[in-house]
Amino acid sequence: MTHTTLTRSFSSLYLSNLLGVPVFLQNGERLGTLKDLVINNEERPRVVACVIKTRSPRYHGTIAFAWEGFAITVEEHRYSLICKQELPFTIGNSHSLLCRNILDQQIVDVNDKKLVRVNDIRLAFLATGAYPVAVDVGTSGFLRRLGMIEPASALLSLFKHSVPSRLILWSDIEVLSQQSRNIKLSVAQSKLLTFHPSDLSDIIEDLDAKTRNALFTSLDHEKAADVLEEMEDEAKVSIVEDLPVETAADVLEKMPSDEVADILIDLKDEQKAEELLEEMDRATSIEVRELMEYPEDTAGSLMSTDFLTFAPETTVGTVLGELKRLKPDADTVYAIYIVDKAQHLLGEISLRDLVIHELAQPLSEIMETKPIAIGDSEHIGTLTRLISKYTLLSVPVLAEDRTILGTIVIDDIIHEIFKNKRVTL
């Protein structure tokens, strides 16, 4: 048998072209068939070994050999592998299997920011080695796997069409599921961390429970809180239920108390809600507990308890200094509130008004003394009417004695309006 080694003359192949091809020894003896390719988990991965299914009495079932010992040959469009040297290879934690871990699995398309399923993998053969360069997520990859790519393209070419193909470069994908091998999602973090929390939450919601939890726990608490906030209510609850109590408490502490209260109310397991409240720092858990007392359709259930209050004699300069020191979130400083010693609301000042006034001016001189406010037990309907009538960014929430309890910002209400719309449709 004469084999022409063509390693240099074909630059690229699909994984589906290679899986199942026969593997021969140099003396022409048939060793077995190619079952999988092993890559190293690097930024630009390289094929490091072959997994071969063999009936050879020298080995048991499947065996991995280092890629260096192989050459690919082609004869009348039939590929085969020649094993020049049997270099035993141990698959470790820093390796992935192309067929088992990536082919047919869901991955993240980093550019389109969505989950796609891998139909095929394109490999490039260079002088330095073999590299997976792209994944095929289109119809062409699917047809190639079925062995129907040629008849399909022949058929479509009659109508002057071609089989739609969609390749995504390896640098633009993120492999998530590693099945049983618990490889740290460290590379995943780096690319996925550049996503907007809202995009990331969309992806996490679409994942299966195991991968979802693995990915979520690999985020730092701050990011995790941002992502969690963006999720659908059901997904939020499901994630919190799955997390260990300490981790969940850490993440929840980074979220606005009203959001936390909503999640805890929806938990199926009341015991877990109690454990989480115990685990959180005292101030937060007291706030959350109070918020949880409010019935669902009242202003109180929506309010955030993160807001800034000052005494009337404080000067503009002091307030601005405080803001610089505290660096509060944008939605907590749409307005600041002026209260007496007993926390009764006296007035409010918008951030804009604060910025345009002289530093030495006391707040009492520039504040709006009759701010539009809402009672904590009033219905959400009243709230949405107020907000749209006066086009407000935030509304203070008051107890019956005009003590300020919290604020509601427009973001919370937008969410609420959409939620209601969805239910009543």
- Please give the Cα distance from 238 to 423 (Å, whole number): 20
With respect to other proteins, which residue has the nearer C-beta, 177 or 189?
177
Burial of 403 (0-12, 13-18, 19+ CB in 10 A): middle
With respect to other proteins, which residue has the nearer C-beta, 241 or 353?
241
Q: Give the one residue of 35, 122, 212, 357 binding other proteins; rule: CB under 8 A.
A: 212
Q: How many CA atoms lie within 13 A of 68 on its CB side?
A: 4
- Please give the Cα distance from 254 to 383 (Å, whole number): 26
- Please give the Cα distance from 335 to 337 (Å, whole number): 7
Determine the residue type at 17.
Answer: N
**Count of residues of this chain found to bind other proteins when the rule CB under 8 A is applied:** 46
Q: What is the closest distance, in whole angstroms, from the C-beta atom of residue 158 to other proteins in the complex?
A: 22
User: Which window, 90-98, 357-365, 379-387, 397-405, contacts other proteins (CB under 8 A)?
Assistant: 397-405
Would you count residue 271 as binding other proteins (CB under 8 A)?
no
Would you count residue 164 as binding other proteins (CB under 8 A)?
no
Q: Give the one residue of 225, 376, 383, 409 binding other proteins; rule: CB under 8 A.
A: 376
Rule CB under 8 A: which of 278-317 touch other proteins? Answer: 286-287, 290, 293-296, 300, 305
- Please give the Cα distance from 399 to 296 (Å, whole number): 17
Would you count residue 111 as binding other proteins (CB under 8 A)?
no
Burial of 396 (0-12, 13-18, 19+ CB in 10 A): buried
With respect to other proteins, which residue has the nearer C-beta, 106 or 350?
106
| 3 state DSSP class of 77 | coil
Among the listed residues 132, 147, 141, 22, the one whose alpha carbon sits nearest the alpha carbon of residue 72: 22
Q: What is the closest distance, in whole angstroms, from the C-beta atom of residue 179 to other proteins in the complex?
A: 6
- Please give the Cα distance from 390 to 422 (Å, whole number): 25
Would you count residue 28 as binding other proteins (CB under 8 A)?
no
- Please give the Cα distance from 292 to 367 (Å, whole number): 32
Q: Give the one residue of 126, 193, 209, 414 binding other proteins; rule: CB under 8 A.
A: 209
Would you count residue 161 as binding other proteins (CB under 8 A)?
no
Would you count residue 356 as binding other proteins (CB under 8 A)?
no
Q: Give the one residue of 199, 242, 275, 411 binding other proteins; rule: CB under 8 A.
A: 242
The torsion angles phi and psi of 228, rounded to 5 degrees, stand at: -60, -40
Give the tokens for residue 193.
């961390």
Cα angle 11, 13, 19 (rounded to 5 degrees) comes to 145
Would you count residue 12 as binding other proteins (CB under 8 A)?
no
Q: What is the closest distance, in whole angstroms, from the C-beta atom of residue 359 to other proteins in the complex?
A: 30
Would you count residue 157 as binding other proteins (CB under 8 A)?
no
Residues at the interface with other proteins (CB under 8 A): 104-106, 114, 116-119, 137, 142, 145-146, 179-180, 208-210, 212, 234-235, 237-238, 241-242, 265, 268-270, 286-287, 290, 293-296, 300, 305, 343, 376-377, 399, 403, 405, 422-423, 425
